[in-house]
Amino acid sequence: MKKSYFFTALKITLSLFLVCGVIAGAVALAYSVTINKYNENVANEKSNAIAEIFREPGAEAPELTLGDVDLPENSPKSVKEVSKVLVDEKTVIGYAINITGKGFGGEISLMIGYNADGSIRGVKIISHAETPGVGTKATTNEHLSQYNQKSGELTISKKKGDDIAAVSGATISSKAIHAAVNEANKLIIKVINEGGSAQ
């Protein structure tokens, strides 16, 4: 009696184990087949955003190369990546910071391009999960272009006189983007001061 119970339990465990093993194998296979393509997609998206930021109006997207920059010490966790933007593989024309902000619907991933002097060249949204038609108003180029050419600690509100006009109805989204940009503005000063270290 006891023995048969033991064998039933063993049989159940083994068959579940087998199912799990086979599925895990299949998932691992699918992962190894698709991972390169996925990384390519992510990298493409980021470099497209950078190219878009550094494009002269009306001109074709320029040939840019990106150089890695070490993150300054004590950088906040929201900073994902800092790169130098080079033309002809030697002249540094600016920097790009990939940073995330906490939006209404989750993480907002931003690409912020800087001129060599540390002023903002342009801000692009890479991904977000804001409410369509509401929070997405803060992700339009019209709103984001307010940041262009600005630097340092910026203020935001719906009143006049502040650096950035918040979007009514999308307060949380625009503030999330704003906080991320300010964070990156602090960071870029450090990056430029440390300048040579990464070259």
Partner 1 sequence: MKKKSGFLTQLKEGILDNNPVLVQLLGMCPILALTTMVSNAIGMGLAATAVLICSNVLISLLRKFIPKQVRIAAFIVIISGFVTVIEFIMRAYVYSLYQSLGLFIPLIVVNCIILARAEAYASKNKVLPSAVDGLAMGLGFTFALFIMATIREIIGMGSFLGIPLFGDFYSPATIIISPPGAFLTLGLIIAVVQKIRNNAEDKAQIAKMKAQAMGEAKEEKDA
Least CB distance from residue 34 to partner 1, whole Å?
4
Q: Write the DSSP string, 113-161.
A: EEETTS-EEEEEEEE--PPTTTGGGGGSHHHHGGGTT--SS--EESSTT
Least CB distance from residue 80 to partner 1, whole Å?
16
Which 43-62 residues touch partner 1, going by CB under 8 A? 45
Decide: 78 and 180 in contact? Cβ < 8 Å. Answer: yes
Binding partner 1 (rule: CB under 8 A), the pick from 124, 125, 132, 173 is 132
Binding partner 1 (rule: CB under 8 A), the pick from 6, 12, 140, 186 is 12
Decide: 113 and 54 in contact? Cβ < 8 Å. Answer: yes
DSSP reduced 3-state for 64: strand
Instruction: Decide if residue 23 touches partner 1 (CB under 8 A).
Output: yes
d(Cα 80, Cα 103) in Å, to the nearest integer?
16
What tokens does 94 get?
A: 């600016």
Decide: 164 and 197 in contact? Cβ < 8 Å. Answer: no
Nearer residue to partner 1 within complex by CB, 102 or 150: 102
Instruction: Decide if residue 6 touches partner 1 (CB under 8 A).
Output: no
Instruction: Decide if residue 102 touches partner 1 (CB under 8 A).
Output: no
| Residue with tokens 């503005």, as numbered in its chain | 185
Nearer residue to partner 1 within complex by CB, 39 or 149: 39
Nearer residue to partner 1 within complex by CB, 39 or 155: 39
Enumerate binding residues for partner 1 (CB under 8 A).
11-12, 15-16, 19-20, 23-24, 26-27, 30-31, 33-35, 37-38, 41, 45, 106, 127, 129, 131-134
